[in-house]
Amino acid sequence: MLKNYAPGRIWKTFRFLLTVFLIVRKKERFLFIRPLDPVAFKQTILDLGVSFIKLAQVLATRADFFSEEYLNELKTIHDEVEPMSQADFEVMYARAFGSTRPFCKFEQRPIASASIGQVHRATLKDGTEVAVKIRRLDIEKDVADDIRIMRIFLYLFQPLFSRFTKNSLEAVLNEFAAMIVKEVDLSIELDNLCKFKKMYQQDYIRFPDVYPRYCNIDVLVMSFERGIRIDDKEALAHSNIPFTLLMNRVVLFYVEQMLVCGLFHADPHPGNFLVREDGTLVVLDFGMVKRLPNSTRIAMIEMIKAANEQDFELFIVSCKRLGIVAAMAREDQMQELAERMFDIFGNENLSAATMQTLAFDVLDSMRELPFKIPQELVYVMRASSLIEGLGTTFIENFNGVKDILPILQKNIPRALGTGTGLFSTFKNEVLSLPLTVRRLKLIISDLSEENLHIKLSGETLEFLGEYIRAYLRPIGTGFIFITAAFFVRGLKFPYHQIWATILFLLGCLKIVIGLK
């Protein structure tokens, strides 16, 4: 079972990851190896399969990493692979259902086949039509092997990158690894689907019904849902369902998920959204679900509010709270970034193409900043790319500012948990007053008992870390020079004592400068 570690596959993994790293660092080559061109890059991903296809779908949202040529190729990669062999299918079917035979009819040919599993159409004994998702044989081992190989190469490549680039790449890989491990467990998908059905009960959204008695880690049995794919332009045109209505529903659904509730569908590609005859959206595939921390949601809301109101101070604060820009970023850099972002948000007359060009320019300029995308935002970007893709496909001269921002603005008060009226805001403040008083009492009590603990924010810790590193770097360099001086002094070559003296003096000078 060493097929995942075959030399040819290891080499392709190395080429894939090295290409990512060289592109991010804008390097032409590493030693004698050049990055793969966009077409070869895509083919390498398809050859590696399973985890790399999933990872490519995440990377397709990273305009801060890749040029437009690479992004165009990445966006064409779909999670569609050949079905399991009949022998593998029989093993997994027997493992999933054992001696139980819940179906009176089961179609052997899958209606969909992806890297994690495949879906079959079946009928329960009571006549209910269902979709049966069965995972692939040994998929959990294949995923674990792929993640292990990627982590090893990431560790080896670390010296090539600045700390911020490394953190951003690590965020992508760490978030991806955590999500795909959950995705291969179909019992987790069952739990996610049940949570969505309970949490989101809008009348314009539908989720499949589930049959838990037939579900386990290897299989998920759901109601069979009919509808038109949300990106099927021709079929939607014949259905006479206004696409602007569908677009509003998708946006409202994701606003509700990301800004209000915090639990959101993290695999938002068009194949996971069907449109029924009455315009209801059917949402499928809950293997990748993410919960956003409250602090991240609030920072996202603040950023939207700041962009709308052209509030520079709030924009910078929200960027730092999200962890997008490091705490030590210079104010003039942040000022330039904010002004360019405000130019985009403030111009409702931009075409989709012009807006995309400006966005790429801004992202390109941000590569020079201590900039990173925290892992919580990796999948949020996937949702925005779905909305952008649908908008540019169906709406002439689509503009995210003009078409999407008003919906976000309208939902800010609800996302913050407040009503729109003065009385509602006042009521919420009064109701929260006892909790505030109780917290103040605890702080005073801890202070009097000399038991007060101060928790530093991530931003403060990051700033302190950079300050300490900057302070210790010349001192460390000085000690290296002094150590080298003693080493050179012990060697026998012309002028070795002079070189030793020069190294010693340089080391002392470095230490003195560092201690000032």
Q: DSSP labels for 344-368?
A: HHT-TT--HHHHHHHHHHHHHHHTT
Say yes or no: 509 and 373 in one domain.
no
CA gap 436, 429 in Å, rounded: 10
Its pTM stands at 0.73
The CATH number that applies at residue 104 is 3.30.200
Residue-by-residue DSSP string for 460-481: HHHHHHHHHHHHHHHHHHHHHH
Residue 159 confidence (pLDDT): 60
CA of residue 244 relative to chain centroid, distance:
27
| Stretch among 98-112, 151-165, 449-463 having the lowest mean pLDDT | 449-463
Report yes or no: 26 and 43 within 8 Å, Cβ to Cβ.
no
Q: Is 383 a member of any domain? A: yes
Using CA atoms of 344, 244, 75, 238 in order, give the dihedral in degrees to the nearest 10: -150
Report yes or no: 343 and 366 within 8 Å, Cβ to Cβ.
no
Report yes or no: 368 and 389 within 8 Å, Cβ to Cβ.
no
Say yes or no: 71 and 91 in one domain.
no
Please tell me which residue, 329 or 252, carries the higher pLDDT value: 252
Q: Is 90 a member of any domain? A: yes
Q: Is 27 a member of any domain? A: yes
Residue finishing a domain among 417, 450, 481 = 417
Say yes or no: 378 and 486 in one domain.
no
CA gap 410, 254 in Å, rounded: 14
Say yes or no: 90 and 214 in one domain.
yes
pLDDT digits over 184-226, tens only?
999 999 999 999 999 998 889 999 999 999 999 999 999 999 9
Please tell me which residue, 335 or 133, carries the higher pLDDT value: 133
Per-residue pLDDT at 93 exceeds 90: yes
Residue 54 confidence (pLDDT): 82
Q: Is 438 a member of any domain? A: no
Say yes or no: 375 and 295 in one domain.
yes
The amino acid at 226: R
Per-residue pLDDT at 322 exceeds 80: no
The amino acid at 20: V
Q: Of 102-116, 248-262, 364-378, 389-403, which has the strongest mean pLDDT? A: 102-116
Residue 425 confidence (pLDDT): 47
* Alpha helix ranges (H) inside 416-457: 422-448
**Number of domains within the chain:** 4
Q: Is 33 a member of any domain? A: yes
Say yes or no: 204 and 74 in one domain.
no
pLDDT digits over 163-192, tens only?
545 555 666 777 778 788 888 999 999 999
**Mean per-residue pLDDT, 487-511:** 83
| Stretch among 413-417, 427-431, 494-498, 510-514 having the lowest mean pLDDT | 427-431
Residue finishing a domain among 386, 417, 448 = 417
Say yes or no: 265 and 211 in one domain.
no
Q: Kindly tell me the sign of the dihedral angle through the C-alpha atoms of 467, 469, 474, 476.
A: positive
Q: Is 109 a member of any domain? A: yes
Question: CA distances (Å), 368 to each of 165, 325, 333, in order?
Answer: 10, 11, 9
Tell me which H or E stretch contains 256: none
Say yes or no: 48 and 130 in one domain.
no
Say yes or no: 95 and 72 in one domain.
no
Residue 451 confidence (pLDDT): 65
Residue 408: strand, helix, or coil: helix
Residue 420 confidence (pLDDT): 45
Per-residue pLDDT at 461 exceeds 70: no
Q: Is 351 a member of any domain? A: yes
Residue 422 confidence (pLDDT): 43
Report yes or no: 41 and 73 within 8 Å, Cβ to Cβ.
yes
Q: Which domain holds residue 470?
A: 458-515
Tell me what percent of the residues of the chain surpass a pLDDT of 70: 71
Say yes or no: 294 and 263 in one domain.
yes
Say yes or no: 133 and 170 in one domain.
no
**Mean per-residue pLDDT, 39-43:** 91
pLDDT digits over 350-377, tens only?
555 555 555 555 555 555 555 566 666 7
Report yes or no: 173 and 153 within 8 Å, Cβ to Cβ.
no
pLDDT band at 421 (very low <50, low <70, confident <90, very high): very low
| Stretch among 187-191, 241-245, 304-308 having the lowest mean pLDDT | 304-308
Tokens representing 131?
């979709």
pLDDT averaged over every residue in the chain: 78
Residue 303 confidence (pLDDT): 78
Longest Cα–Cα distance in the chain: 95
Say yes or no: 270 and 413 in one domain.
yes
Residue 101 confidence (pLDDT): 86
**Mean per-residue pLDDT, 482-496:** 81
Residue 215 confidence (pLDDT): 94
Q: Is 337 a member of any domain? A: yes
